[in-house]
Structure 1
Amino acid sequence: MTIWSSNEAHLAMFNDIAAGFKETHPGVNVAFESLPFASYTTTLTTQIAGGNPPDLAWILESDAPDFLKSGTLAPLTATLSATEGYDLADVTETATALWASEGELFAYPFSTSPLGIFVNNDVIQAAGAKTPAELIAAGEWTWDNAFATASAVGNSGKAGLVLRDFNYQTWRNLAAVWDGWGASPWSEDGKTCTFTEAPMVDAMTAIHNAIFVQNAIPGPGEDIDFFAGETGMTTTQISRASLLPKENPFDWDLVPLPAGPAGTYAVFGQAGVGAFANRPNTEVAVEFIAYMTNPENSQKLAQFFPPARASLLNADTLATTNPLLSAEQIETVVVQGISTGNVLPSHTNYAQIQQLIRAELDSLWQADADVATVMQSVCDSISPLLAR
């Protein structure tokens, strides 16, 4: 199985699950191959094109439409349904929607991870600003107020709000913000560019102002790690709680994304695991997915990867596998995020589309940029691909 994690705790857990599988499949060996995240999909698709794919692979949500369209993945529904004790009905439709086609599941969403905001209360209070907890208690946790707090921190000499893993390149992570305006990059059928519509223009204008006017978000070229302890807030997934410092800790919090003009909302990223069809080990690979994602092992996975099973989506269950997080943090960020959220953007030909968008957005990250003009250039660039 190819994966993009080399985290020792992740690998220890996967090897433990594999050992359990081998007890009932004594002739089978399960190995996990860690590939660099930055080139993961390129490496995997190269292996597939060369006729030498792995038996199983993790798949990013952004690549799900291409993998489903390609026909390279083995169907899972029959095996999962027939596996004793599996209870496929427990897996939520919200989680499986991206990984299914015409009622058939082709990859299992083993990680459905909502985005939240990690907070350094020490940095915010030192800047004389209101903390997110204070704003939430007052019913005032909005993007306007979040940017105001981040601006106060930025003007104090620290970094206000870091949009983690954005780095002025991975634009889809801006969905953590723009969903609050009800914006999306394309229509629901994927055929029409919507960067030029008012919600997206307004959201991008707010982001641009936060960077260049309010000093709320660090500008291009500034590589800042929230977990080093010198930043007010960061948008990221709950799995990053493992990065919180054990030495010289700070007063931290985890809160939901602020409300935007369109109201409250949630956004989550996903990772699926699929088996490749028409391979010598396809049948046993699908059986391993059934074992790896059964109720018992899903609870083990939940320590690092928020589950797709409704029975595990409660604060009591998740608290046992996420001891750093409080029951309230789990309920408001994780449970409600998975139950009500939208998945990060994806599309067929995503690799090509995302490169075009990134190139057009380069001109947005300047103080004098005209947001509406840049949004039009994005649509001009990607519309021919969307219409295919």
Structure 2
Amino acid sequence: MTRITQLKAAAFAAGIMLPLMAGTALSQDAVNLRMTLWTANEAHLKLFNEIADAYKANHPNVTVTFDSLPFDGYTTTLTTQIAGGNAPDLAWILETTAGDFVNSGALSPLKATFEGAEGYNLADVTQSSLALWSADGEIYAYPFSTSPFGMFVNNDVIKAAGQKTPAEMIAAGEWNWQNAMAVNAAVAASGKQGLIVRDFDYKVWDNLASIWNGWGASPWSADGKTCTMTEQPMVDAMTFIHDAIFKQKAIPGPGVSADFFAGDAAMTITQISRASLLPKENPFSWDLVPLPAGPAGEYAVIGQAGIGVFANSKNPKEAADFLAFFTNPENSAKLAQFFPPARASLLNAEVLGAANPLLTPEQIEAVVVKGISTGVVKPGHAGFAEIQQTARAALDALWVADADVPAVLKSVCDRIQPLLAQ
């Protein structure tokens, strides 16, 4: 059974075809809303709870709780909750599974709620950011984060290894993957780790899009029907990554634990929401720079997340109303501290700089503003959870020193092609 079929079955079993108001609590009744998300970061949760408290001040009967689930397996856990009749009222949804949730009937329509919320200004939300979360003129989730991947770097360990910093390489026109990985290899040889692709951990392979896009590679064709893992750009990119792990030792190997934000590594690929992890005590000299250029030139990769309201929520009306408050202009400006907003009025260095005092205007312009305007969203597909797990199992053979890269990538295509063609 494909993931979208599972979602449809779960939605039907939960009875979401009942009239929307059937399960809605009366305004005077106590309402408890639960939102699932994949962050447990204290700074994120503090802000979310402050927004929820502000909402409660004007809606004293409504209480919102935030349920943090592990990132690895997040969608599987979420769909299990839906199928088990324990769906949250609201949930973060990954860009990779947007199509499944939007097209399954599991989510409540939101457009009328947004249009009716005082001061909401839906026209300020860019159409490009809404594209993944809309169907047939209706909006089914709000794109609360449209965040490019960037490179945080530890200049102290880079200099200690006798290497140029990324800023120096950018100034000299030398910031590319070959030179970046050479720096990481030198740092690794000096006793620290090199590059950490955050949240990859040899499981979430699609996060490697932050590297392979520099080769112009993609796991499948633009129409999603054909596996392209065996085409030369992907073979070259994955060979580069494999060599960086097992020959250069520039990327920590399987089973090696290292935390960039604890000062263990030279570089990490992640999004600006992780800036809150930078050490307050015993800080190191850090920088945020764009991803290095690849053989295909300069590029940017965007991760996007939406928040949707489940149609089988006991209180879909209240959940949608809270979401409109959570994403209104004022709160979007607050959330911009961690999550680049979808509102055009907020997408500039001045606003983002005020929300992100740790980042310089130059960093925001080069990584966030430029990244959003030029980047492509991480690959997604209908039934992505099943495709992701199937490819992950096939890619296990790649993470050994003597792997035959083209043969492994062929095995990936052999396994996922039937799923792509469904």
Q: In 2, Cα distance between the equivalents of 1:168 and 1:46? A: 24
- Quick check: 1:62 aligned with 2:102? no
Structure 1 runs, 4 residues or longer, greater than 6 Å off: none
CA separation in 2, counterparts of 1:70 and 1:330?
A: 36
Alignment of 1:247-258 (within 5 A): 247-258=281-292
Residue aligning to 2:62:
28
Q: Distance in 2 between matches of 1:85 and 1:32?
A: 25
Match of 2:112 in 1: 78
Identity %: 69
Contact map agreement 1:94 1:339 (CA 8 A) in 2: no
TM-score by length of 2: 0.88
- 1:296-327 per-residue CA deviation (whole Å, 9 max, x = no partner) reads 11011111222111111111111111111111
Task: Compute the TM-score of the two structures, normalised by the length of structure 1.
Answer: 0.95
Retained in 1: the 8 A contact 2:149–2:269?
A: yes
What is the letter of the counterpart of residue 57 of structure 1? A
Match of 1:383 in 2: 417
What's 1:152 paired with?
186
Tell me which amino acid in the other structure corresponds to 1:328.
Answer: E
Which of 176, 183, 187 is equivalent to 2:210? 176
For the residue of structure 2 that corresponds to 1:37, the secondary structure is coil
Residue 117 of structure 1 is matched in structure 2 by 151
Task: Tell me which residue corresponds to 1:324.
Answer: 358
Question: Partner letter of residue 115 of structure 1?
Answer: F
Q: Look up the equivalent residue of 1:188 and give its one-letter code.
A: A
Aligned residues of 2:274 and 2:338 also touching (Cα < 8 A): no
Matching of residue 101 in structure 1 with residue 135 in structure 2? yes
- The aligned counterpart of 1:260 is 294
Distance 1:164 1:9, change over 3 A: closer
Q: Does 1:340 align with 2:374?
A: yes
User: Is residue 220 from structure 1 mapped to residue 254 from structure 2 by the alignment?
Assistant: yes
Which position in structure 1 is the counterpart of 2:23?
A: none
Q: Which residue of 2 aligns with 1:284?
A: 318
Secondary structure in 2 aligned to 1:354?
helix
1:384 offset after TM fit, Å? Answer: 0.3
Give 1:370 deviation, angstroms: 1.8
Q: How many residues align?
A: 388
Deviation at 1:155, TM superposition (A): 2.4
- Structure 2 distance, partners of 1:234, 1:132, is 12
Matched, 1:300 2:334: yes
Contact 1:193–1:383, Cα closer than 8 Å, also in 2: yes
Partner of 2:49: 15
What SS class does the counterpart of residue 29 from structure 1 fall into? strand
Gaps of 5+ in 2: 1-34
Checking the alignment, whether the CA contact within 8 Å between 1:307 and 1:313 is kept in structure 2 is yes
The letter of the residue matching 2:55 is F
Distance in 1 of aligned mates of 2:64 and 2:244: 48
Give the conservation status (yes or no) of the 8 Å contact 2:76–2:385: no
Secondary structure of the residue aligned to 2:303 is: strand
Q: In 2, Cα distance between the equivalents of 1:14 and 1:230?
A: 30
Correspondence 1:205 to 2:234:
no
What letter matches 1:343 in structure 2?
V
Cα 1:11–1:314 change in 2 (3 A) is: same
Within 2, Cα distance between the matches of 1:289 and 1:341?
27
* 2:396 aligned with 1:362: yes
- 2:201 equivalent in structure 1: 167
Counterparts of 2:312 and 2:195 in 1: how far apart (Å)? Answer: 47
Structure 1 position 18, deviation (Å) = 2.2
Cα distance in 1 for partners of 2:283, 2:209 equals 30
Q: Give, in angstroms, the shift of residue 175 of structure 1.
A: 0.5
SS in 1 for 2:63: coil
Q: 1:33 to 1:215 in 2, by over 3 A?
A: closer
Residues 169 and 358 in structure 1, CA contact (< 8 A), matched pair in contact too = yes
* Deviation for aligned residue 1:244: 1.4
Superposition deviation, residue 209 in structure 1: 1.6
CA distance in 1, matches of 2:104, 2:246: 42
What whole-Å deviation, never above 9, does each CA across 1:61-119 have from its counterpart, x for those lacking one?
22212111211101112221232322222212332222122332211111122111111
Q: Residue 72 of structure 2: SS of its match in structure 1?
A: helix
Aligned to 1:230: 264
Q: Is 1:239–2:278 an aligned residue pair?
A: no
In the aligned structure 1, how far is the partner of 2:226 from the partner of 2:135? 21
Q: What residue identity is the alignment partner of 1:346?
A: G
Shift of 1:120: 0.9
CA contact (8 A) 2:87 2:312 kept: no
Distance in 1 separating the partners of 2:401 and 2:53 = 55
Alignment CA distance shift 1:273-1:209 (3 Å): same
Which 5+ residue runs of structure 1 have no aligned equivalent?
none
Q: Is the 8 A contact 1:112 1:307 kept in 2?
A: yes
1:350 aligns with 2:384: yes
Shift of 1:164: 1.6
Residue 189 of structure 1 aligns to which amino acid in structure 2? D
Shift of 1:157: 2.7
- 1:381 and 1:104 map into 2 onto residues whose CA distance is 35
2:214/2:296 contact within 8 Å kept = yes
Q: Which amino acid aligns with 1:310?
A: A
Is the Cα–Cα contact under 8 Å of residues 147 and 303 in structure 2 kept in the other structure?
A: yes
| 1:131-182 per-position Cα deviation (integer Å, ceiling 9, x unaligned) | 1101100111111111121122222232121222111111011001001111
Q: Is the 8 A contact 1:186 1:192 kept in 2?
A: yes
Return the alpha-carbon distance in structure 2 between the equivalents of residues 71 and 196 of structure 1: 35
The answer as to 2:169 corresponding to 1:135 is yes
Task: Check conservation: 2:151, 2:289, Cα contact below 8 A.
Answer: yes
Q: Report the RMSD for the aligned CA atoms in angstroms.
A: 1.7
